[in-house]
Structure 1
Amino acid sequence: MLIRTARRDRLNDGNRPDGCPASSAGLFVIRADGTARFDRHYHDMAEFWLVAAGTGTIAVGDQHHHVIAGDIVYTPAGVEHDIIDVADELHIFWLSAPIPAGGNGSHLHRTPDLAVKHPVAVATRDA
């Protein structure tokens, strides 16, 4: 199987090969032009993010991490995560663990206001 993430293809229920343990995978981009939006959310399964390009700040629980290309971010099931800011356009590949029985794999929010996508700040980083 091949997933062409450059075309915004993603692994999902409709194309997952038999025996594949991942519930979803793909690429998302957070622009560094002031137009990007993101929501603070969690999932009922764990997720990995691989930062392919760019720099920014990602929150996992109450910790903030400055990320650069090559970093891998792990978000455990039930732990909120968010993108706080971006200095250079972020290209992030995600890979989600299997969805547990009774789960749905979607973005979950502790309060309705967290479901509203907030603007992602553009940050300046010193070299």
Structure 2
Amino acid sequence: MPILKNGEGQAPAWCEMEYYELVTLEPDTKRDFSRRSPREKIIVVDGHCEISFGGAVLTGEYGTNVDLKSSDDFFSVATRDVSTTIVWMCGDWESETSSGIFTDSQGDPRDTKGDPVDYPKNTSFDRHYHDCDEYWVIIEGSGVVVSEGKHYEVEPGDCLATGMGFHHDIAISNEPEFKGVWFETGLEGRKRKGHLWEHTHGPAVPQLDRV
């Protein structure tokens, strides 16, 4: 599907992640966020901060992954001596399989254990599919990603939403390092976790209404 951008009205109806922001706060600043959705999460992708929600204060650093409680009406993020970048995701997903930060780099595409490709590629990222929907929010680098057989140019702040069963890949990285956040919603079908390859796990069964 076309790449999502920050802002409302971007996600199609099938997406359980309905809104997201890549937010950078300068040193010694604070931002209050009003809750938008029944389910929300924050992942810290750079710097460190204090995250306040539900009467609690949590120290956030690279990789901190916070699920906000449905009863919280707002949360805040405060920085001290360094700038901090977070990914804020909102929606109504029933469950989560996994989420975190991934890093890829330029490399020999022959070093991948993923499914074969028929397009130009300069990374060793593995072409794969899932038994769930997956979202990538790009936080560093630019390049070309592939999903549903289509090629999309991406840069920081873009989000690739891939429906269950569709192959996806990082084909081209324009910089030595390419970094993003991944978020997988609940398992469906055969409910197998992780990267799936046709040569190992059998044919993919794409959900054709999720494009």
Could you tell me the TM-score, scaled by structure 1's length?
0.69
Structure 1 residue aligned with 2:104, among 30, 33, 55?
30
Question: Structure 2: where are the runs of 5+ without partners?
Answer: 1-40, 47-60, 71-93, 109-122, 201-211
- Identify the residue that residue 173 of structure 2 maps to in structure 1: 86
| Equivalent pair of 1:10/1:25 in contact (CA under 8 Å) | no
- Identify the residue that residue 147 of structure 2 maps to in structure 1: 60
| Equivalent pair of 1:8/1:27 in contact (CA under 8 Å) | no
TM superposition shift of 1:80: 0.4
Tell me the percent identity.
27
TM superposition shift of 1:102: 3.8
Aligned to 1:104, the other structure's residue is in SS state coil
TM superposition shift of 1:62: 0.9
CA gap of 1:68–1:5, structure 2 versus 1, over 3 A, is closer
| Equivalent pair of 2:146/2:171 in contact (CA under 8 Å) | yes
Compute the RMSD of aligned alpha carbons: 3.0
| Equivalent pair of 1:51/1:92 in contact (CA under 8 Å) | yes
Larger Rg: 2
Question: Structure 1: where are the runs of 5+ without partners?
Answer: 113-127
Quick one: distance in 2 between partners of 1:52 and 1:102?
31
Higher relative contact order structure (alpha carbons within 8 Å, sequence separation ≥ 6): 1
Matches within 5 A, 1:68-107: 68-88=155-175, 89-100=177-188, 102-107=190-195
Q: How many residues end up aligned between the 2 structures?
A: 108
Quick one: distance in 1 between partners of 2:144 and 2:197?
20
| Equivalent pair of 1:57/1:67 in contact (CA under 8 Å) | yes
CA gap of 1:95–1:10, structure 2 versus 1, over 3 A, is farther
CA gap of 1:107–1:5, structure 2 versus 1, over 3 A, is same
Could you tell me the TM-score, scaled by structure 2's length?
0.43
